[in-house]
Structure 1
């Protein structure tokens, strides 16, 4: 996986990061919020089709693996595939062990967005992603130095705006809040070169 971390550290990051993202998505789903990226698109499509989040999220990511293999390499792609699979399965099946009967929508937006952001940050730092727009964001950061958080925020807000057609304005505003929280965490903490070793002069 990541040469800067041991296999144990990478596996822990993969499981923990995916679990945090899954829990954040569950919070969003509980109150009808949306998010950005392929996860947001998957939530959007669950409202208009009979497929589950996990099924749609897994399928939406398939085309992006081509970009991942050609630009980011096989190791990154395999790691990402595993992370996407974990999130897809977890969101669809965590209700067997976690049941949320009631949660304030504002709290769900803030905490859910924070959980997703922290989960993505853990995954990104170990040279993995959650596929889809994450791959595009990381590619642009690696290739052109554009912060992944800024790219992700632009894409996320676009998905949320699309959702104006299916949810009310209050939920849209809360969804935007969740997206902002997620991407502020990424923009402030995942910067190009921050984790590269410094060469002594």
Structure 2
């Protein structure tokens, strides 16, 4: 990088008008989903959970011993209607592919990675950081994990409800229900993991700091 002073006002970079290529999107969705699958492995091996539809899938997994991936995929199915109406076909298709890929990866990953012991505090923080990084990649390439987040955006557009508050309320309900399935200490650490997720997104996803489309 050059440290030479500029003689004129800087021009906007040419990349501002460029869109992500299909190859950009594919690599981002693959890598982001892998990060998310790793985060779920940390949470699952430590007996914790997270918010959103992933949190509901964890509750079903713990309560009924059903595969997390299958539960996560099934729970998301009704939300694609809201995604299509609120965010369009491209976003909905990318989200469907991401959810499908994550559902497969979470069931396939244990055959490649076995964690004999993980400290719950470390799992909460590292799992949250991985999830936040993975979600950041999805957001920047117009994708998501569907579920409650999509419903929140839909309700904001149709009813004027603040999406952030809807998401927070849903996560609080999920964490409260988690007290029926797992130890209260693990629920508290799950909240710590959620804080780590939102920290990564809040710090790295600010208006004016990223210009990819």
Distance 1:128 1:107, change over 3 A: same
Distance 1:187 1:139, change over 3 A: farther
Distance 1:102 1:140 in 2: 41
* 1:74 Cα deviation from its structure 2 partner: 1.1
Distance 1:23 1:127, change over 3 A: same
Distance 1:146 1:124, change over 3 A: farther
* 1:161 Cα deviation from its structure 2 partner: 2.0
Aligned pairs for 1:109-124 within 5 A = 109-124=124-139
Aligned to 1:111, what secondary structure does the other structure show?
helix
| Residue 41 in structure 1 maps to residue 56 in structure 2 | yes
Q: Select 2:172's aligned residue among 145, 154, 157.
A: 157
TM-score (norm 1): 0.86
What's the counterpart of residue 15 of structure 2?
none
| Residue 23 in structure 1 maps to residue 34 in structure 2 | no
Aligned to 2:64, what secondary structure does the other structure show?
coil
Distance 1:182 1:108 in 2: 12
What's the counterpart of residue 205 of structure 2?
190
* 1:133 Cα deviation from its structure 2 partner: 1.7
Contact kept in structure 2, 1:121 and 1:190, CA below 8 Å: yes
Contact kept in structure 2, 1:145 and 1:192, CA below 8 Å: no
Aligned pairs for 1:54-133 within 5 A = 54-133=69-148
* 1:50 Cα deviation from its structure 2 partner: 3.7
Superposition RMSD in Å: 2.4
Distance 1:78 1:188, change over 3 A: same
Contact kept in structure 2, 1:156 and 1:179, CA below 8 Å: no
TM-score (norm 2): 0.82
Distance 1:175 1:27, change over 3 A: same
Distance 1:114 1:140, change over 3 A: farther
Aligned length: 194
* 1:134 Cα deviation from its structure 2 partner: 2.8
Contact kept in structure 2, 1:147 and 1:187, CA below 8 Å: no
Distance 1:138 1:121 in 2: 17
